[in-house]
Amino acid sequence: MINHVKSTLLRNTVISVIQRRISMRPFWSFVLFVVVCLAGLGLFRMESDAAQGEEHIEFSFSPGEVLRYNVRWGVIPAAHATLEVHPMVELDGRLAHHFVMTTRTNSFADYFYRYRNHIDSFTDIDMSRSLNFNKREEERSRRRNVDVHFNWTRGVAQVTENGRTRDGAELVNGTFDPLSIFYVFRSRPLHVGAELSVPVSDGKKLVHGVAKVVAREEISIEGRVFDCFIVEPDLKDLGGVFQKSPDAALQIWVTADESRLPVRVRSKVVVGYFTAELDLET
């Protein structure tokens, strides 16, 4: 009986501390940010293929690929996420890539803050720009639906949120959404000293960011060793929890092979340390 009471008090204390320390929207925005691995996801602006003299991109992914990540706040498991490559679909008479990401808090985190997120991303067949970006989000009892159409004829992102449509950010050539850029990034070679950049938009805002490949090292995840590049994005254009953290830092470990998988993401922000790692057991 005493042990049960102690366990209950400990659980309630942990939950209370977490709730006091975290501004929840920035926290789960960060979880989403980490899981999608903004190593590509919104922080890189790569030169156009023409500028690089490339005629063809070898994609390191294919339909059927599924990547699962576990996210921790310190030592506390917080969330799970899945990235999937779906079969190509037809949009406006043309084939398009279809990428899907789902994010959800685990059963423990659901006690104090339930979060669910589902994103669909569509790009042209050459992976040169985004076409559509759809997000379905549940935050506690609040639901939010956002659909973004990248209108390349007008050069503007059209945003439909909860049934209301308006013009959003102006587009520049080669703009991607926060999910598809993950796959663009994986199609580019890396080396220590490389500096990468790309225009990315969620429909409301367009960001130009920079990231550098700063080192190469071997790391171990669940007993498996990975040869990785370490990528450090510039966080100056990011808001939310990063804006509130003057000493914020973010590092992404990307495998040095042709798959270029982000296997670990680690960050220090005002509310503590976060780590996302590839789940090798599923």
Residue boundaries of the structural domains of the chain = 25-278
Rounded distance between C-alpha atoms, residue 264 and residue 226, angstroms = 10
* Predicted local confidence at residue 145, as pLDDT: 92
Q: From residue 184, give the alpha-carbon distance in Å to each of 42, 134, 253, 280.
A: 11, 18, 16, 23
Rounded distance between C-alpha atoms, residue 130 and residue 134, angstroms = 11
DSSP 3-state assignment of 173? Answer: coil
Rounded distance between C-alpha atoms, residue 108 and residue 119, angstroms = 23
CA nearest 208: which of 248, 244, 253, 173?
A: 173
- Residue whose pair of structure tokens reads 């060793």 in the numeric block: 225
Rounded distance between C-alpha atoms, residue 183 and residue 273, angstroms = 26
Q: From residue 29, give the alpha-carbon distance in Å to each of 18, 25, 137, 242.
A: 16, 6, 11, 10
DSSP string, 63-85: TT-EEEEEEEETTEEEEEEEEEE
CA nearest 266: which of 227, 198, 219?
A: 219
Residues of the chain with pLDDT under 50: 5-7, 9-10, 13-33, 35-56, 239-245
* Predicted local confidence at residue 121, as pLDDT: 96
Query: Tell me, what DSSP letter sits at residue 236?
Result: T
Tens of pLDDT, residues 69-121 = 998 888 888 888 899 999 999 998 899 999 999 988 888 888 877 889 999 99
Rounded distance between C-alpha atoms, residue 104 and residue 137, angstroms = 10
Paired with 268 in beta bridges are 249, 273
Cα angle 51, 52, 54; round to 5: 110
Rounded distance between C-alpha atoms, residue 187 and residue 217, angstroms = 21
Query: Tell me, what DSSP letter sits at residue 141?
Result: T
Tens of pLDDT, residues 29-44 = 444 445 444 433 333 3
CA nearest 42: which of 235, 183, 177?
A: 177
* Predicted local confidence at residue 41, as pLDDT: 37
Query: Tell me, what DSSP letter sits at residue 45?
Result: -
CA nearest 140: which of 168, 111, 171?
A: 111
Please tell me the pTM assigned to this model: 0.77
* Predicted local confidence at residue 58, as pLDDT: 64
